[in-house]
Chains A and B, each alone.
Chain A
Amino acid sequence: MSGNDRSGKIVELISSSAFEEAFQEKVRNRRWAVALVTFGISLVGLWLMFDVMGAGGWTTLKGVEVLLFGLLFTSLSFGFSQAFLGFLVLAEGNEPLKITNTLDEETPLASTAVVMPVYNEDAETVFGSIRSLYDSLQERGELDSFDFYILSDSTDPSKAVEEELGWADICRQTNGFGRIHYRRRKLPVNRKSGNIADFCRRWGHRHRYMIVLDADSIMTGKAVSSLVRLMEVNPRAGIIQTLPRLIRARTVFGRIQQFASRLYSSIFAAGLNFWQQEGGNYWGHNAIIRISPFLCSCGLPGLPGKEPLGGRVLSHDFVEAALMRNAGWGVWFAYDLEGSYEGLPPNLTEYVKRDRRWCQGNLQHMWFLLAQNIRPISRIHLVQGILAYVSAPLLVSFVLMGALQAGLDHLNSRVGIFPSASAGVLFLMTVTLLFGPKVLSLIHLFSRPKEVAAFGGPVRVMGGAILETLFSVLTAPVLVWFHTRFVLRNLAGKTVVWHTQTRESGDGPSWNEVIREYWPLPILGIVLSALAWWISPDYLLWLSPLLVGLILAIPVAHFSCHTNFFGKLFVTPEELNPPKELSGDFRLQLREGDQFVHAVLDPLYNAVHVALQRKRETSSAPSSDYGVSLAMKLFQEGPDALTAQEKRALLTDGHTLAYLHTLIWRTPAEMMHPAWSKALAMYRSAKRRREQEPGLIEAKLAGVESAVT
């Protein structure tokens, strides 16, 4: 049977009404199971909380506290239920309802665009990812079905030139002209979602699918071709999301996150797929999208009001998944498809900075909860996203209400607010919900000796797990503090500024920067500790996990940036035995320094840049007056004379840039800004630098003379 025939049979089977009915029945049962476990646990917790709170008589504060507890505890139970059911699925070992069951390696591929939106990113990281995927597909003989698009929104002129030259270099290295494409928008309208939409408008009809990658994503050739095959055999699938493994972390924070994610995410992912099935979510990258329904159904609506909560949709992914589901297309989670990776913020500060954007994006999703035609399952995803941030101020309110009540009780000389039995059981339950998934993950791992070995052995796994738990306890209050600030700022109408992430480890923030960002936390921690001690030493003990995290926030945040700790701990299978795609060390052959200056001076870079500008701007059309005035300003006042905006404008005027290049090279040093003559010397070869003395020139000329006569 040929690949086409076999795939046709699978498609036929999946599309049959009997299959669909049986499938829907099973999915319904699964969702009931999750609801049952979640609400079962929550009700027990609430009952215990009623018992604890009611013991000393009811007050308004206690009523509010119970309400907040109900919300937070249900959210916690939902996470635990997912992990628990995921654990059972993995323990059973045979999940019949997962999309990867339909994968057939013989299925023919279809035209697919691999798209990577970038914004002032490191060009070597971007093109390194593209290169590894390109090579991987080439090795598999599947390159013909794929085109690669680097979709730039970069506003930094030096970065923009670097990307352009990076594109030319990678094409030259791989002979990828016509297969690897680069496009930079002049204006980053609607940011990442606008960037993707712009791609769809320009080349949407060129491909059947697009695989969206982030600038720090890496996928193997096998993974992307598997995604295309899964799409081909599942004609109702609109999006298939993979589970990206975190990679390439070097800092303490990054390696701990990477280790934790690798160790614990499997059971959560299996649990997520267990109940969501074709009603899954899209995380914005490392996923494949069927372009045609995306064009028809996923145009993002404008939101009422202005930013931060209104205006343009910031976090487009959840919304696109919801719109795709509305249109009747499936959104699947290929949680067990190997070969999908992504980077992560290198330290706590960068992580928090990313959360600042995500918080605003998720809060905007509340509009979709009020909208018509959003499926219940999509609403659950949206609520989960919102709660990921709103739970922080809820938790803060819960703790403050508790502290207030305890303080009032202390003033009124009322004691004994915690009946030992119920409070103890509730405490144990909470601890189980918080740390149970970690324990389940470890049980799952230790039942597979080969996987334990892939993590570096049982000692490393256990050591890593214990330290990771301690670290997460210390950092949790810091995240709660920042999330609370972000939510409140957004609700107060403050817009989040779009900052670039530092994806590489780098040096991390200095002590000064950390103190400037984190100083309120230890003060808050000390004040709360004093208050708690005043209420009762027992109460201080009760709050201590939260308070220690606050007091130690500054050293923990600084420590999280270090790269030379725990070298032998927190290892992941991808570190010990990296796949080929992760072990390549890609280097662009670019000159060092400001790439904008090189675009003016370097004859080769200048030519590549000018040739890439639109034909009408570089052939016979005269340059704009504005372009010429910028060029003259640059010529007379040196490379630093222009603002970033002016540099961007000049870069688009190829004709003027070519003229400026010639002008600088042919002008004697005394007639132009000294910075240019200094910059020109950068291009002198090392050999000629040694031959600067006039005597040597003489000798050289004599040599040439004898050679040609």
Chain B
Amino acid sequence: MAVSPEYIALLRVGIRSSPEWKEAWDRINDYLDALKTPDSRDRELILLASFERAIARKRGEPFTPATELAFEETQKTLDSSLGHLIDAEVPGMRRSVEERVRLYLTENVDGNLLGREDELSDEVLQALREVKLQAAPNLQVASIKQRPLEFTLAGKGFIGLAKKLSPMGASRIIAWLIGLAILGFLIFSSLYK
């Protein structure tokens, strides 16, 4: 990734001159931090290349916020760096998702694969091309046989009785009255023994 001194000077002027570009600069740096991109020369190159194009675009699109332009150009820079790991048929936004998945999978204490692709073996690069995040295996469907509960004769009788009595239990007042009546009977019958 070659960056000429003229563009860096241009960038310096741009950032110095405008709070809008300063915000864009901070935002993109935050984004690269969130991507766990180490503070290295490669990171600076991503920034410079992206801002170079964003500033150039701003001349043609003066009403588009600098943050938006910078973000889009950063995405393009990342895409050019990681895009070869993603199948060509994967559509737009999904490409960014897949690229970030690969950054996640290669993340370690030193950062991730951004700018370190040369260090990765062909096998690892191939595995990264083929990786597909899948949390659960393919289905091997089975069914659970559910049998209804069949009651004994006594059970049916009990349920029938419970159904007949349940309206009494459903009313709190009746339930309390029955309870108190039982208690009263117990006390009364025990009192005069």
Identify the A interface with B (CB < 8 A): 57-62, 64, 147, 149, 164, 167-168, 172, 177-178, 181-183, 197, 200-206, 294-304, 367-373, 401, 404-405, 408, 412, 491-493, 601-604, 606-608, 610-612, 618-620, 655, 658-659, 662, 665-669, 671, 680-681, 683-685, 687-688, 694, 697-698, 701, 704-705, 707-709
Given A301-B148, A619-B91, A684-B29, A607 contacting B142 (CB threshold 8 A): no
CA distance A668 to B18 in the complex (A): 14
CA distance A204 to B141 in the complex (A): 7
Does A205 contact B141, Cβ atoms closer than 8 Å?
yes
Does B107 contact A604, Cβ atoms closer than 8 Å?
yes
CA distance A602 to B30 in the complex (A): 10
Does A683 contact B31, Cβ atoms closer than 8 Å?
yes
B12 to chain A, nearest CB (A): 5
The residue from B100, B144, B149, B193 contacting A604, defined by CB atoms under 8 A apart: B100
Question: Which one of B55-63, B117-125, B154-162 is at the A interface?
Answer: B154-162
Does B137 contact A203, Cβ atoms closer than 8 Å?
yes
Q: Closest B residue to A57 by CB, please name it.
A: B193
Given A371-B152, A608-B104, A705-B5, A295 contacting B98 (CB threshold 8 A): no
CA distance A408 to B140 in the complex (A): 70
CA distance A708 to B30 in the complex (A): 22
Does B144 contact A201, Cβ atoms closer than 8 Å?
yes
CA distance A204 to B145 in the complex (A): 13
Report chain A residues within 8 Å CB of B9.
705
13 CB-based A-B contacts, threshold 8 Å: A59-B193, A64-B186, A182-B135, A183-B136, A204-B142, A205-B141, A303-B149, A368-B149, A603-B100, A606-B97, A683-B33, A697-B25, A698-B16
Does B189 contact A60, Cβ atoms closer than 8 Å?
yes
Does B154 contact A370, Cβ atoms closer than 8 Å?
yes
Given A372-B150, A666-B67, A408 contacting B142 (CB threshold 8 A): no
Does B44 contact A707, Cβ atoms closer than 8 Å?
yes
Does A167 contact B135, Cβ atoms closer than 8 Å?
yes
Main secondary structure of the interface of B (DSSP, over half): helix
Q: Closest A residue to B31 by CB, please name it.
A: A665
Q: How many A-B residue pairs have CB under 8 A?
A: 232
Given A204-B142, A372-B151, A668 contacting B15 (CB threshold 8 A): no
Report chain A residues within 8 Å CB of B36.
604
Contacting A at CB under 8 A, from B3-48, are 3, 5, 8-9, 11-12, 15-16, 20, 22-27, 29-31, 33-36, 39, 41, 44-45, 48
Does B34 contact A603, Cβ atoms closer than 8 Å?
yes
CA distance A547 to B175 in the complex (A): 29
Q: Can you name 5 extra interface pairs (CB under 8 A) apart from A667-B67, A668-B66, A708-B41?
A: A197-B144, A300-B146, A668-B20, A683-B31, A701-B12
Kindly state the interface size class of chain B when it binds its partner. Answer: 35 or more
Contacting A at CB under 8 A, from B70-104, are 71-72, 75, 90-91, 93-94, 96-101, 103-104
A531 to chain B, nearest CB (A): 15
Report if B180 contacts A (CB, 8 A): no
Query: Quick one: which of B15, B133, B135 has the most chain A CB within 10 A?
Result: B135
Given A704-B44, A709-B5, A680 contacting B27 (CB threshold 8 A): yes
A702 to chain B, nearest CB (A): 8
Does B135 contact A183, Cβ atoms closer than 8 Å?
yes
Does B186 contact A401, Cβ atoms closer than 8 Å?
yes
Report chain A residues within 8 Å CB of B23.
668-669
CA distance A200 to B145 in the complex (A): 11
CA distance A699 to B36 in the complex (A): 23
Q: Closest B residue to A61 by CB, please name it.
A: B190
Query: Quick one: which of A57, A610, A707 has the most chain B CB within 10 A?
Result: A610
Given A204-B140, A301-B149, A612-B135, A172 contacting B187 (CB threshold 8 A): no
Main secondary structure of the interface of A (DSSP, over half): helix
Does B142 contact A60, Cβ atoms closer than 8 Å?
no
Report chain A residues within 8 Å CB of B41.
707-708
Does B34 contact A602, Cβ atoms closer than 8 Å?
yes
Q: Closest A residue to B166 by CB, please name it.
A: A305
B141 to chain A, nearest CB (A): 6
Q: Closest A residue to B103 by CB, please name it.
A: A604
CA distance A369 to B155 in the complex (A): 8
Query: Quick one: which of A164, A177, A367, A708 has the most chain B CB within 10 A?
Result: A708
Q: Closest A residue to B155 by CB, please name it.
A: A370
Report chain B residues within 8 Å CB of A604.
34-36, 100, 103-104, 107
Does A667 contact B65, Cβ atoms closer than 8 Å?
yes
B164 to chain A, nearest CB (A): 14
Does A370 contact B151, Cβ atoms closer than 8 Å?
yes
Q: Closest A residue to B9 by CB, please name it.
A: A705
Q: Closest B residue to A368 by CB, please name it.
A: B149
- Mark interface residues in B153-193 (1 if CB within 8 Å of A CB, else 0): 01110110000000001100001000000000111011101
B77 to chain A, nearest CB (A): 14
Does A704 contact B48, Cβ atoms closer than 8 Å?
yes
Q: Closest B residue to A414 by CB, please name it.
A: B193
Does B31 contact A603, Cβ atoms closer than 8 Å?
yes
Q: Closest A residue to B43 by CB, please name it.
A: A704
Does B100 contact A606, Cβ atoms closer than 8 Å?
yes
CA distance A35 to B48 in the complex (A): 85
Nearest 6 A/B pairs, CB to CB:
A370-B155, A204-B142, A299-B146, A607-B100, A666-B71, A59-B190
CA distance A687 to B175 in the complex (A): 71
CA distance A177 to B146 in the complex (A): 34
Q: Closest A residue to B170 by CB, please name it.
A: A493
Report chain A residues within 8 Å CB of B33.
683-685, 688
CA distance A371 to B156 in the complex (A): 9
Report chain B residues within 8 Å CB of A203.
136-137, 139-140, 142
Does B30 contact A683, Cβ atoms closer than 8 Å?
yes
Given A200-B144, A612-B135, A408 contacting B191 (CB threshold 8 A): yes
Does A295 contact B144, Cβ atoms closer than 8 Å?
yes
CA distance A697 to B26 in the complex (A): 10
Report chain B residues within 8 Å CB of A369.
155
Report chain A residues within 8 Å CB of B133.
168, 177, 608, 611-612
Report if B116 contacts A (CB, 8 A): no
A400 to chain B, nearest CB (A): 9
CA distance A658 to B91 in the complex (A): 13
Does A205 contact B142, Cβ atoms closer than 8 Å?
yes
Report chain B residues within 8 Å CB of A668.
20, 23-24, 65-68
Does A181 contact B135, Cβ atoms closer than 8 Å?
yes
CA distance A172 to B15 in the complex (A): 39
Q: Closest A residue to B24 by CB, please name it.
A: A668
Does B105 contact A60, Cβ atoms closer than 8 Å?
no
CA distance A389 to B47 in the complex (A): 67
CA distance A408 to B149 in the complex (A): 47
Does A620 contact B91, Cβ atoms closer than 8 Å?
yes
B124 to chain A, nearest CB (A): 12
The residue from A181, A707, A708 contacting B137, defined by CB atoms under 8 A apart: A181
CA distance A64 to B66 in the complex (A): 86
B19 to chain A, nearest CB (A): 10
Query: Quick one: which of A372, A671, A694 has the most chain B CB within 10 A?
Result: A372
Report chain B residues within 8 Å CB of A57.
193
The residue from A181, A367, A669, A697 contacting B15, defined by CB atoms under 8 A apart: A697
CA distance A707 to B136 in the complex (A): 47
Query: Quick one: which of B3, B33, B169 has the most chain A CB within 10 A?
Result: B33
Does A372 contact B152, Cβ atoms closer than 8 Å?
yes
Q: Closest A residue to B47 by CB, please name it.
A: A704
Given A203-B139, A304-B159, A708 contacting B65 (CB threshold 8 A): no
Report chain A residues within 8 Å CB of B24.
668
Does A683 contact B97, Cβ atoms closer than 8 Å?
no
CA distance A61 to B185 in the complex (A): 9
Given A405-B190, A684-B33, A708-B48, A164 contacting B144 (CB threshold 8 A): no
Given A401-B186, A701-B11, A705-B5, A370 contacting B103 (CB threshold 8 A): no
B137 to chain A, nearest CB (A): 6
Q: Closest A residue to B29 by CB, please name it.
A: A688
Q: Closest A residue to B142 by CB, please name it.
A: A204
A302 to chain B, nearest CB (A): 7
Report chain A residues within 8 Å CB of B104.
168, 172, 604, 607-608
